[in-house]
Amino acid sequence: MNKLNKIAAAIVLLGSTAAPMAYAQTNMLSTTSYNPSWYFAPSINAYNPDDRLGLEGNGKGFGLHFGKAISPSVDIQIGPNFARRSENGARLDTLKLDADALFMFSRGQIRPFLLGGLGVERYKASVLGTSESKTAPFVEAGLGVQFGFTPRVMGQLDFRRTHAFLRGDTPFGTKHANDNYLNLGLGFAFGGPTMAAKAPPAPTPAPIVQMPIIPAPAPIPAPAPAPAVVQAPAPAPVAVQMPRVERITMSDTELFDFNKAQLRLPQPKLDEMAAVLASNPQISTVNVNGYTDRLGTDTYNRRLSQARADAVKAYLVSKGVEAGRIRATGQGESNPVVQCTEKDRAALIRCLEPNRRVEIEQITIERRVQ
């Protein structure tokens, strides 16, 4: 096994070790929000051409890719790559332009991924002052890992195997070529992660006005000549238990960091609410409902909204409210407040901000007289 294959095996081992860590980060719902800006990544490479092309061993080269994260789990990258292998006066140059999709296992600091793509590659063989060339399409697959140093700087190490289709007449004696590339590069983003704007505070609910109790009218006495008529007394007022619901809406930017489920501190509104609940046992049930916007998958949004509702419940319990009075539910992206059609992602995130919220419903049992 040559040196390049040994390094490729090390990347496979690193990916298999990092993937469970990345999966655990995803399940905890605390992964770092990804940067949607375009980035550029210069790189150096080790090149191992197909033995059928006439040269064995490893060469080297360089490349430049431009990339962008288009979703929480997919990056795209496109760019040129040059490599050269020379020996005893013979030289093989390759220049390829590829477009790849990177399927990310994580958006944390360590980001293992699989990749697949296609492109076009130009081979040029030179021997004793003569040269021949051939341009061929290719497909490629590989794996690698990214390392997040800062929100705008990352490192990338990947191994790629290309399969070129040398169609028609070819000076290389073969119609297929399998080449290996080991790339090491640095990526620099043109912008930082987009953060949602803070929403205005929820309006204070209007107080409920109790209607006064109107007593029943006194009986009218009968005329004097007629015998007195004894009327039955008016029925006593009956107390009826009536439920009353108050709803308080808090924006997720008041409670959490972007794409996180850990409460910011301090939380004066939740402190005031906990004090009211602790001193008013007639508030029998408190429903805490978490909501997200429509960005991301339905499963991810439902788990994130549940984690946020659970965080609010845990905070109220820590302030003295009985856990049995609080019911926490993650509603995901259901019941949106607004509908948005913006094409720009940053504008779309700002427009959808009212949908990312936590609603707290207090159900109070009142005694009203009828």
Identify the pLDDT of residue 329: 95
Q: pLDDT tens for residues 89-108?
A: 788 899 999 999 999 999 98
Mean pLDDT of 347-357: 90
Sketch the domain layout of the chain as residue ranges: 3-189, 239-369
Q: pLDDT tens for residues 304-349?
A: 999 999 999 999 999 999 998 999 999 999 999 999 999 898 898 8
Instruction: Compute CA distances 240 → 201, 216, 243, 281, 329, whole Å.
Output: 35, 17, 10, 18, 30
Q: pLDDT tens for residues 277-306?
A: 888 888 878 999 999 999 889 999 999 999
Measured in degrees and rounded to the nearest 5, phi and psi for residue 11 equal -65, -40
pTM score, whole prediction:
0.47
Identify the pLDDT of residue 174: 82
Say whether domain 239-369 belongs to CATH 3.30.1330.60: yes
Map residue 3 onto helix, strand or coil: helix
Q: pLDDT tens for residues 174-227?
A: 888 899 999 999 999 998 775 544 555 666 766 665 665 666 666 676 666 666
Architecture category of domain 3-189 in CATH: Beta Barrel (2.40)
Q: pLDDT tens for residues 13-52?
A: 555 554 555 444 444 334 446 789 999 999 999 999 988 8
